[in-house]
Amino acid sequence: MTTLSIIKADTGGFVGHSEVHPDMLSAAGDAVRDAVTRGLLIDGQVSRCGDDISLIMTHEHGADAEAVHSFAWNTFLRTTEIAKKLGLYGAGQDLLSDAFSGNLRGMGPGYAELEFTERPSEPVLCFLADKTEPGAWNLPLYKMFADPFNTAGLVIDSKMHAGFRFEVYDLYQDKRIVFDTPREIYDLLMFIGAPARYVVHSVQSVTLDIPAAATSTQRLSLMADKYVGKDDPVMIVRCQSGLPAVGEVLEPFAFPYSVAGCMRGSHHAPIMPVGLAQATPARFDGPPRVVALGFQITDGKLIGPRDMFADPSFDRARTMANEVMDYLRRHGPFEPHRLALEDLEYTTMRELEQRLADRWQPMHTETRVPAQTR
């Protein structure tokens, strides 16, 4: 079995929250090459989207492996040191804990991991996003694996007719549930249409009985109990031969749907699919970006990446994202550009409510006429 792990963290931004400094990428690259030489990893690459570094690694240790997670943690400590030395912004931002213990759960860095037996040819897409949250994958995952208007294979390929199984996490209550599609699509949509709370964690093929997709699902604000930056999620999707084709997996991003994130993690904004060269959110710390790195995995080796969104077929999504951004920005601090209050409660709202608690007065003194005299 091969495990593909993407482990990511924001350990400092260059400039502000817009990019990762090249020195940090090169230090992470050295660490990954060394881990391959030592035999910890079969293969590994370093990439980035906005201010987040992603370690893309193949190995045989399975998901949640201490050896791999502690390697990533130590690598992020190293990139944090560089960020501190260069005075970069938010150095060590996502490292919430002082010491590593066992695995990265609850410690800040995000990760998506998929353990599988390699098929004769194994095309995989690694998605990295910046300035948004894990629920941002709900809509595209639904379209890829459950919407025949997106994925022709659901109709045309008999291996896909039995559908896909979605595992959904409730991030507020630490519970999980599994839905079978197409039978339960309405139940599924009821939950995943609320992506701040319900997040698709994984998808499995019913017919092939193999894992098809995995996402990172932590929410930093829920862990730290305050705003500490958005979670900037990652996702792995296997493609072809009874799974959605590469083009079907990319297709949902031709529509720049609205996600939560952007400036101060507090706004709805369109997600913009971009090539790596454009994965540098500038305007209003946004619009949120997504890159798709394509690999063929062969004997555990990462053959790639191909920069899948660096393609003119996504130009119109980018143009539309800019238009939608203009429209939303004109709302300034008003909803629906700004997030609804319940999604802001882990940021400043609670503090503000406490500060103003004494100034709120009842709106009416008791002037209501008793019922029997009406």
CB of 72 to ligand F6R, least distance (A): 21
Stretch that binds Mg ion, among 33-41, 43-51, 134-142, 359-367 (CB under 5 A): 43-51
Of 332, 201, 204, which is closest to residue 266 (Cα–Cα)?
A: 332
Cα–Cα separations (whole angstroms), residue 210 to 105, 133, 198, 237, 367: 24, 26, 23, 12, 67
Binding mask 64-93 for Mg ion (x = CB under 5 A): --------------------------x---
Of the pair 168, 321, the CB lying nearest ligand F6R is at 321
Other residues' Cβ atoms within 10 Å of the Cβ of residue 64? 16
The item of ligand F6R, Mg ion, none sharing an interface with residue 304, based on CB under 5 to 8 Å by kind, is none
Of the pair 133, 147, the CB lying nearest ligand F6R is at 133
* Residue whose tokens read 């991030």: 171
Looking at beta carbons, which residue is closest to ligand F6R?
285
CB 227 within 8 A of CB 243: no
Of 217, 261, 182, 254, which is closest to residue 104 (Cα–Cα)?
A: 217
Of 29, 41, 46, which is closest to residue 70 (Cα–Cα)?
A: 41
The item of Mg ion, ligand F6R, none sharing an interface with residue 52, based on CB under 5 to 8 Å by kind, is Mg ion
CB of 11 to ligand F6R, least distance (A): 13
The item of ligand F6R, Mg ion, none sharing an interface with residue 265, based on CB under 5 to 8 Å by kind, is ligand F6R
CB 129 within 8 A of CB 190: no
Distance, CA of 93 to CA of 232 (rounded, Å)? 12
CB of 95 to Mg ion, least distance (A): 12
Q: What is the DSSP secondary structure assignment for residue 119, as one 8-state letter?
A: P
Of 45, 202, 60, 36, which is closest to residue 117 (Cα–Cα)?
A: 60
Q: Is 211 in the site for Mg ion (CB under 5 A)?
A: no
Catalytic residues: 10, 227, 230
Other residues' Cβ atoms within 10 Å of the Cβ of residue 305? 18
Distance, CA of 88 to CA of 17 (rounded, Å)? 9
CB of 49 to Mg ion, least distance (A): 8
Of positions 19, 43, 51, 147, contacts Mg ion by CB under 5 A: 51
User: Regarding beta strands 301-307 and 123-130, do their DSSP bridges make them parallel or antiparallel, or are they unpaired?
Assistant: unpaired
Start-to-end C-alpha separation, the chain: 78
CB of 110 to ligand F6R, least distance (A): 13
Q: Is 281 in the site for Mg ion (CB under 5 A)?
A: no
* Residue whose tokens read 């998901």: 63
Q: Is 130 in the site for Mg ion (CB under 5 A)?
A: yes
Of the pair 163, 288, the CB lying nearest Mg ion is at 288
Q: Is 19 in the site for Mg ion (CB under 5 A)?
A: no
Structure tokens at 254: 């031709």
Q: Is 285 in the site for Mg ion (CB under 5 A)?
A: no
User: Regarding beta strands 198-205 and 272-273, do their DSSP bridges make them parallel or antiparallel, or are they unpaired?
Assistant: unpaired
Structure tokens at 41: 């990893």
Stretch that binds Mg ion, among 1-9, 50-58, 279-287, 341-349 (CB under 5 A): 50-58
Q: Is 133 in the site for Mg ion (CB under 5 A)?
A: no
The item of Mg ion, ligand F6R, none sharing an interface with residue 267, based on CB under 5 to 8 Å by kind, is none
Prior bond of 336 cis (ω within 30°): yes
Of the pair 55, 297, the CB lying nearest Mg ion is at 55
Distance, CA of 327 to CA of 161 (rounded, Å)? 40
Of the pair 163, 286, the CB lying nearest ligand F6R is at 286
Of the pair 248, 285, the CB lying nearest ligand F6R is at 285
Q: What is the binding site for ligand F6R (CB under 6 A)?
A: 16-17, 131, 229-230, 263-265, 285
The item of ligand F6R, Mg ion, none sharing an interface with residue 21, based on CB under 5 to 8 Å by kind, is none
Q: Where are the alpha helices (DSSP H) in 211-292?
A: 220-224, 246-250
CB of 17 to ligand F6R, least distance (A): 5
Of the pair 10, 147, the CB lying nearest Mg ion is at 10
Interface ranges with Mg ion (CB under 5 A): 10, 13, 17, 50-52, 90, 130, 232
